[in-house]
Structures are given as structure tokens and as C-alpha cells.
Amino acid sequence: MKIRLENVVKTFETFRAVRDVSLTIESGELVALLGPSGSGKTTILRMVAGLEYADGGHIYFGDQDATDIPVRDRGVGFVFQHYALFPHMTVAENIAFGMKVSKVKREKAAIDARVVELLRLVRLEGLGDRFPAQISGGQRQRVALARALSVDPKVLLLDEPFGALDANVRHDLRRWLREIHRELGITTIFVTHDQEEALDLADRVVILKDGHIIQQGTAEEVCRNPQSAFVMKFLGDANVLAAEVRDGKAYASGAAIDVSGMADGKAELYARPADLDWSAQGPGIPASITRVLDRPDGRRVLATTETGDQLEFDVEPERAVKAGEGGFVTLRRAKVFALG
């Protein structure tokens, strides 16, 4: 089911949560709404679900205007941040709930068969008789998904689906959700504030800030070509240097980057830690190491330039560096954004 949001607006009291958002989601697409808290991403998701009504604009499901269709008739599957499983029902009863209250009457045997099928899909065979309090967080998450899928929704909506889980479980569930999506081909929108999750999982990432869409595109597009300093910073660690653009070149702390086409003036230069190289001899920006953070996949070095800028970069795990050492930083690549 194709979903189209047209100039959607939502205001809570005086807080303008969503301002004039237009967005098209193709049938079968897996889209991430990514943004910091207060960016309006959850509100957009809830408006698509019908759990909030839009103050202005329209939401189309296919060609049908769904703006005023109440949630119970909208045909969406919603997975809540804290799962919202019915605590007094077993896992199987939770999954069967939607089918039991449906206007389409089903045989009990058909419901039971569907529950078994869904339990297999979410790999929870044999846990049907447990209560939600008796299973782990990751399992609850999967029950919530099975319950949402039980009503054959046109759209699957997930609000911070992995937010409350620990890192390992989150990683596995992410892969698994991707598989399920491929298997079912259902249009899916999920909300997250975790860039890695959005980039790993989604066909398309929609980045939001203050109720606006700032940028959208595939993971490759937004990573390789961030169009604003906000997106650059939000997607991952970035070094920031004050820069000056003159005659198609940006100068920062003694380094120069080609930026042909940019107007002269003050600017900011952004470089990922992996885009910086460290060497004992010049040329480069002279700096001294203040701290070394060891991580499983390499060593993160914190350094201060002679002009007082803080820099972060990575070196190979076997490279011997220690606090107090001096050397030179070279920029392999960087993005420059004009100020103001």
C-alpha cells in the first residue's frame, strides 16, 4: 500500500510538533523516520496510524484519503515502543486478540492455526502459553510484531522498535526484521533516534528536525552526500573546524580542501574520524594527542591542534600511540558547509 502525506501539520497546545510535512512511501518500502527527540517523528507515525488526527493536510492510503478514518478501521499494524502487550493474556491470546475482535468473523480453528503460523514466523514456537511477564524483552518485541501482523495490516508501523533492548539483541532483531520484511513485502515505517539502526535497516531514511524533513534518501545518499551540517553531525561522529572559503578552496587550521563552486566566506569543515590520518612527520595540521580510547575495532585518538581545536580520529589497532605524543593530522576528505 502506497502512503502519501500531503502538507501534514500537528500542533500540541502551543508546540508545533509537525510542520508541513509531505512524504511519499512506495508500496512495499521500508522507511525509517530518523531524528532527535522532539523532531516530530513519532507524531508523524501516530498520525499515519490514526492515533493522532492531523490538524492540517491529508494522508492517503493508496488513492483513498485516510485522514479522517479512525484507527480501528485504518488497517494498520502498530508496534509500540514498550510493546503494550496485554499483561493478563498469554502470548497466544495476545496474538489472537485482533482476530477475535475483527468484524470479519473467523472460526476458532482458523484463529488457532493463524496463531501457530505467526508464532513460527516470529520464532516463538512453544511459548504460546506464557504470559508477557514470563518472557524476555526481545521475545516480547516479537510477540508485539506477531500481534500487529495478525490482522493482515496494509501498513506496519513501529515506534522505536528496538529502543528498550540491549545492544546484542537489538542487532539480531534488526537483521530478523529485515528478513521478515523481505518475506512479507509489507509497507513498513519505523521511528528511531539511532542512526545506525536507520541506516542498517531502511530502504530509505527520512531525517527530521523540528517537525520538518531535512533530508531523505537511501543510506548511501544521506551518508555520502549530507546536505546540511545537521545531517552530517546527526549521522555520526564528526570533527568540526572553522573554515574560510576563498577562490574555491576551504582553509581550516592550515589544511586546504577543494570546494569549487562555493561562494567565498566563513564556513565550517566537517570530517569523520575515519577521514583523518595521523603521522609523526608533516605535512599536515600539527597536533598533540590528549587521550587514546581503545575500542574493539581500533583505537580512537583525541588530539588538540596548536590552534586549540579538538580532533578525533581512528588508527589501526596495532599502531603505537599514547597521550602526550605530537604529530600531524592530514585530511583525506571533508564536507564544507557555509555558515549562516
Partner 1 sequence: MRRNVLPGLRLSLGVTLFYVGLIVVLPLAALVFKAASLGPEDYWRIVSSSRALASYRVTVLSALGATVFNLFFGLALAWVLTRYRFPGWRIVDAMVDLPFALPTAVAGIALTALFTTNGWFGSILADLGIKVAYTPLGIMIAMCFTSLPFIVRTVQPVLEDLDPALEEAALSLGGSDWEIFRKVILPLLTPALLAGVSLSFARSLGEFGAIIFIAGNQPMSTEITALLVFIRLEEYDYQAAAAIASVLLIAAFVMLALTNWMQSRALRYTVRG
What is the number of residues in the chain? 340
Q: Which residues 286-325 are close enough to bind partner 1 by CB under 8 A?
A: none
Find the part of the chain contacting partner 1 (CB under 8 A) among 17-25, 127-135, 180-188, 280-288: 127-135
289, three cell numbers:
594527542
Residues in contact with partner 1, shown as a per-residue x/- string from 8 to 47 under the rule CB under 8 A = ----------------------------------------
Smallest distance, partner 1 to C-beta of residue 151, A: 6
Q: How far apart are CA 257 and CA 248, in angstroms?
A: 9
3-class DSSP state for residue 235? helix
Asked if residue 237 lies in contact with residue 293, where contact means CB atoms within 8 angstroms, the answer is: no
CA distances, 121 to each of 138, 181, 183, 279, 318 (Å)? 15, 11, 10, 52, 44
Which cell is 20 given? 508541513
User: Could you tell me if 313 and 301 are in contact, meaning their C-beta atoms sit under 8 angstroms apart?
Assistant: yes
Q: In the complex with partner 1, which residue's Cβ is closer, 85 or 271?
A: 85
To the nearest whole angstrom, how small is the minimum distance from the Cβ of residue 80 to partner 1? 5
* 242 is a contact residue toward partner 1 (CB under 8 A): no
Taking the least distance from each CB to partner 1, the nearer of 157 and 201 is: 157
What is the footprint of partner 1 within residues 66-85 (CB under 8 A)?
71-74, 76-78, 80-82, 84-85
Start-to-end Cα distance in the chain: 41
For 117, residues 6+ apart whose C-beta sits below 8 A from its C-beta are: none
Contact pick of 41, 147, 170, 272 for partner 1 (by CB under 8 A): 147
**CA–CA distance, 159 with 52 (Å, rounded to integer):** 14
136 forms part of the interface with partner 1 (CB under 8 A): no
Of 7, 65, 86, 225, which lies in the binding site for partner 1, with binding defined by CB under 8 A? Answer: 86
**Residue 108 within binding range of partner 1, rule CB under 8 A:** no
Positions touching partner 1 (CB under 8 A) are: 49-51, 71-74, 76-78, 80-82, 84-89, 97-98, 101-103, 131-134, 147-148, 150-151
